[in-house]
Chain A
């Protein structure tokens, strides 16, 4: 229970269906830890005192035992530290996937075992079904495509899927809010969280600086050159960690046509820019692939492939390699801003075949 409308509604629905329910909030990040990052409107985000207050209030309202469990240390090791490392290495990481893979579901199931619960339920928008033919649990897109969270869930294991309920998978956000209102839940009108929970103001560069300063670690490499692919210098920037592939804003370079970041090189402090066409890539290699709903890939197979959360999945061919955790992705049409470090997810219709990381 994050204190938001989705997980609150899930808890209330399960109670209404007559299940014995225990509410848990995972304290993953101390929002007061890096005070220089607190921004207007940043309160009320995940793991803030306000959210725990809201979750507790809902638990009281629906009459379930409720506990806050602290996983800040594991979150730091498994999510925040890799996030920082990736960023400093010039890649654009997806902390929510790391969190789902290593903390949310794994630790949540541990706790379920500890309290004797058979299943866990979350407020994610996704669906799980058991497929008789293959004997596997499958992950599917939710009814509300605009809230689809399968991009962050492809890393779950069969054991995790088998014990997980996503009660919102068949509902739209509007219906969820309506349900929350009809059950008089105190959080029915609460706004959705958008940003990464530990960077509530969306300023990744600022977070990086503050986090490194707290550690007494050196600051990220500073000023460097903005260059074109053919080596012309167009200007200077304040540090490659301010940039991500596909970014247009903040370059401060005036040329005739719009320029985009097409690569960042932390070792030479170079930000490479180019035109929109130069951002296009015919394909990429995915690593650390988890075939969530199927056994694996034996032969080339068509799929729709997402390369970031808000990307509209594009038609592609998946080519197996000798290693089941590696797959070559060849798009039917070249795609814009294939960003190293980002997650990628493969779909067959609503079915999530699997996913991995863009190399």
Chain B
């Protein structure tokens, strides 16, 4: 069976440039980057080259990039680290549509006595900066708002929120896991203090990521036992994977504009065809600015889980939402937050496109969708 992959927000395949960097490093650069000798120096060079590559894609200084074991760790380090670095009563502001990697540490801080305000979003999946301003308290120490939502692709007004945070003297974290590599990101222009990055969402390896930490941002570490990453993340660096992350960042920088254009045209092709050929279809979050590769579509009267399985058996990989929460008991917290009924949330599918997708694949996907949706409606599962 021919298979087509439309789940790039869950993870992406390795780009050839990344593979080359990773493999050459695995073969040749086995030194410990902290060692004094030749082997250690070679590893350190690869590590710092990767840091420059990631910094360059972010518009940051290399010294502001802290490597982590992935996007979830970057989010945890940002949220827990920024709040624990502050003294006294602590309040933080976030949104109802954050990834669990942000909501999880927020809930943990709540258990530790901090106060958390999760801001609502509009039906377009975008938070109103005015809400952020209104939620500010004298003891607010952190604002954490994702740059692009993983389920909808909707972009948040990061620069505006950053201005509000700066005026109030509150640290601002943006989860950029679903953004970097899809649209241009410049952390200085955005004005964020902390920005999370994941390797495997931009054709890099899994298990590596980075946190941009603007110089001077107070941040408490999560782990102890070494002076790596300027005391912020102890442990011998995973140099091959980080070299891969560096190569992925460089690749993304070169192809960003062309890929964004291609993906937007494929995404529009998919949306238009679905809307035209299948009755009872609506695009969720369509009114907002979105990342070019993501669309979230509901199919009236359909169980999303059954549709994902039916499409998989036809060779098309899609998802009902975040891969981390599929199989969850409740409908997507993101779709609920934009005001969808539980029924419509369960009838929603996320399609996230990537560089290897073609117009032919999109057309074949629409055909499979048309057939599967018609079949599921005929047998009226969940009617």
Contacts and interface: CB of A to CB of B under 8 A. Distances in A.
Given A110-B382, A114-B381, A68 B327 contact: yes
Q: Which of B313, B328, B382 has the most CB of A within 10 A?
A: B313
Nearest to A30: B329
Contact of A115 (B310, B329, B330): B310
Contacts of B303: 114
B312 interface: yes
A27 B381 CA distance: 18
A49 to B, nearest CB: 11
A22 B329 contact: no
Nearest to A67: B309
B337 interface: no
A209 B329 CA distance: 22
Nearest to B383: A110
Contacts of B310: 114-116
A274 B171 CA distance: 71
Nearest to B346: A73
Contacts of B329: 30, 70, 72-73
Given A30-B329, A70-B328, A70-B329, A114 B312 contact: no
A70 B321 CA distance: 14
B258 interface: no
B381 A113 contact: yes
Q: Determine the interface band of chain B, counting residues with CB < 8 A from chain A.
A: 10 to 19
Contacts of B312: 65, 67
Interface string B358-381: 000000000000000001100101
Nearest to B302: A114
Interface string A108-119: 001101111000
A120 to B, nearest CB: 14
Interface string A159-184: 00000000000000000000000000
Interface in A61-91: 65, 67-70, 72-73
B381 A115 contact: no
B325 to A, nearest CB: 10
Given A65-B313, A67-B309, A69-B305, A114 B328 contact: no
A209 B37 CA distance: 63
Contacts of A65: 312-313
B121 interface: no
A67 B305 CA distance: 10
Nearest to B382: A110
Do most interface residues of chain A lie in helix, strand or loop, or is the interface mixed? mixed
Contacts of B379: 110, 113-114
Contact of A22 (B306, B313, B330, B375): B313
Contacts of B328: 70
A73 B328 CA distance: 10
B327 A114 contact: no
B313 A70 contact: no
Interface string A100-144: 000000000011011110000000000000000000000000000
A70 B305 contact: yes
Interface string B301-331: 0010111011011000000000000011110
Contacts of A22: 313
Interface string A44-72: 00000000000000000000010111101
Contacts of A111: 306, 309, 381
A67 B310 CA distance: 11
Contacts of A67: 309, 312
B306 A116 contact: no
B376 A70 contact: no
Interface in B86-131: none
B382 A27 contact: no
Contacts of B313: 22, 65, 115-116
Contacts of B307: 114
Nearest to A27: B327
Contacts of B381: 110-111, 113-114
B347 to A, nearest CB: 13
A116 B375 contact: yes
Nearest to A68: B327
A103 B329 CA distance: 15
A30 to B, nearest CB: 7
A289 to B, nearest CB: 28
Contacts of B309: 67, 69, 111, 114-115
A34 B224 CA distance: 32
A116 B379 CA distance: 10
Contact of B306 (A27, A68, A72, A114): A114
Given A69-B305, A69-B309, A111-B381, 17 more contacts: A27-B327, A30-B329, A67-B312, A73-B329, A73-B330, A110-B306, A110-B381, A110-B382, A113-B379, A114-B306, A114-B381, A115-B306, A115-B309, A115-B310, A116-B310, A116-B313, A116-B375
28 contacts: A30-B329, A65-B312, A65-B313, A67-B309, A67-B312, A68-B327, A69-B327, A70-B305, A70-B327, A70-B328, A70-B329, A73-B329, A110-B306, A110-B379, A111-B306, A111-B381, A113-B379, A113-B381, A114-B303, A114-B306, A114-B307, A114-B310, A114-B375, A114-B376, A114-B379, A115-B313, A116-B310, A116-B313
Q: Which 6 A-B pairs have the closest CB atoms?
A: A114-B306, A113-B379, A72-B329, A110-B381, A70-B327, A67-B309
